[in-house]
Amino acid sequence: MVVESSEVPVETVAEEVVAAEAGDSSELAGLYGIHPVGGRRSTATGVPLVRLASLVQPEMTKLGEGAYASVYDVSRPGLPPVCLKWFKDEDGQDHLKEAEMLHALRKVPGLPKLVGLSRSPAAVAMTCHGTLDLQAWASRRFDLDEYLKMLLALSTTLRGLHAEGFTHNDLKADNVMVGERNVPTLIDVGLVSPINSCPFWYNDMRNARDVESERESRSSHLAPRSTARKSRSQRRRLLVRQDRDPDEGVREGRPAQRPELPGDHVAARQRDRQPRAERGQSGQEAQVRRQEMQDLLQELEAYALLSGEGTLVLSFMFNTLVSSALTAEEAATAPPPPRPWPAKQQRKQQQHHHPPPARALNSRESSNRTPPPTHPRRPR
């Protein structure tokens, strides 16, 4: 089964992503009463500086927390949803960099829109796009067609991001939020960097192990392009090299070797546990379903020809949820486990169960057997 391009056109997905974006950031700031600080703006970037006194409340709902910041929901009834990203380091430059990136990428669909920047406290106000990430959404209701549309929308976002000359560098399911219309939004632009450059500052003066440890501290999951190579020299070349071709590996239309489905070993182990005579039609249906998903993955790769980042990560995210769907299907088609005996029946079996009689020892065993210790008799 191969999905034709007319079923899920990229243009329709792009229109849905643009329609899901909130209104102008200046209008949002006016609706929420966030007044600019004396009409000033940050130097040379055009990022609006605002006071967040009207947004900060005694009790705010926390949407998530990372190593460097916490995100709170500060939405009000009747207004577009807005969230506040509160940075833990007041003296750092992370909030300024994220605000500048959101402002520079404001024309890219599928990214949050900047509402305002606060230097003290160090926080960034931006539009909110749901409270469920991609993994949580898929665990509730896995629809293959809807998920394929989401991946196509992500490919549209990545195309716009790369057209502006930037890469995200932190693509994972936790950084994809799903809104009410099942439209994904790519968040956390703290590691966005120009193409052909490193996502960390001063990489040429640092050790590759330190760079990788910093990336792991920011995110528990690394992109497949960063974890595929294990040796230290290859990691150094991947993290520190400045002249890496972003289109390396996708010149022929798709990677040289498509990533293997993570659920293959699970399916093989489940199939081996089931007797060959009991596999029957259920095993054939699972095999056909898996082949259909692999065909959809090949069709997805044809759409996601953006760069090594986009192709590998989108394939990884697709494979992860495909493996969960296959595991659920195999669990549903597997034979039920044997029912345990009732407690009364178990007691009856224990009462009628007699231990086997002791086997008589032959001459060799009796001679090798150690006799029990004897104690001398006490004289009377």
Give 86's strand partners.
70, 123
pLDDT for position 363: 57
80 vs 329, which has greater pLDDT? 80
When the pLDDT of each residue in the chain is averaged and rounded to a whole number, the result is 65
Q: Provide the pLDDT for residue 33.
A: 66
Q: DSSP secondary structure string, 75-125?
A: --TTS--EEEEEES-TTSSHHHHHHHHHHHTTTSTTSPPEEEEETTTTEEE
Q: Return the number of other C-beta atoms located less than 10 Å from residue 62's C-beta.
A: 10
Selection from 272-276, 333-337, 345-349 with the highest mean pLDDT: 345-349
- Per-residue model confidence (pLDDT) at position 191: 84
Q: Sorting pLDDT into bands at 50, 70 and 90, what band is 135?
A: confident
Alpha-carbon gap, residue 40 to 50, rounded angstroms: 9
Query: Residue 64 pLDDT > 60, yes or no?
Result: yes
At residue 28, φ and ψ (nearest 5 deg) are: -65, -40
At residue 204, the pLDDT reads: 43
How far is Cα 373 from Cα 164, in angstroms, rounded to an integer?
A: 90
Question: What pTM did the predictor assign?
Answer: 0.53
Q: Which of 180-194, 214-228, 359-373 has the lowest mean pLDDT?
A: 214-228
pLDDT digits (tens, 9 = 90+) for 141-175: 667 778 777 878 888 888 888 888 888 888 888 88
Inform me whether the pLDDT recorded for 177 exceeds 70.
yes
What are the structural domains, with CATH classification, of the chain?
22-127 (3.30.200.20), 197-244 (no CATH), 259-335 (no CATH)
Q: How confident is the model at residue 352 (pLDDT cuts 50, 70, 90)?
A: low
Least-confidence region, from 16-30, 225-239, 355-369? 225-239
pLDDT digits (tens, 9 = 90+) for 32-42: 667 666 555 65
| CA pair distance 133, 216, nearest whole angstrom | 20
Per-residue model confidence as pLDDT tens digits over 286-312: 666 667 666 665 655 554 444 445 555
Q: b/e per residue, 3-28, with b = 16+ CB within 10 A? A: beeeebeeeebbebbeebbbeebeeb
Of residues 157 and 277, the one with the higher pLDDT is 157
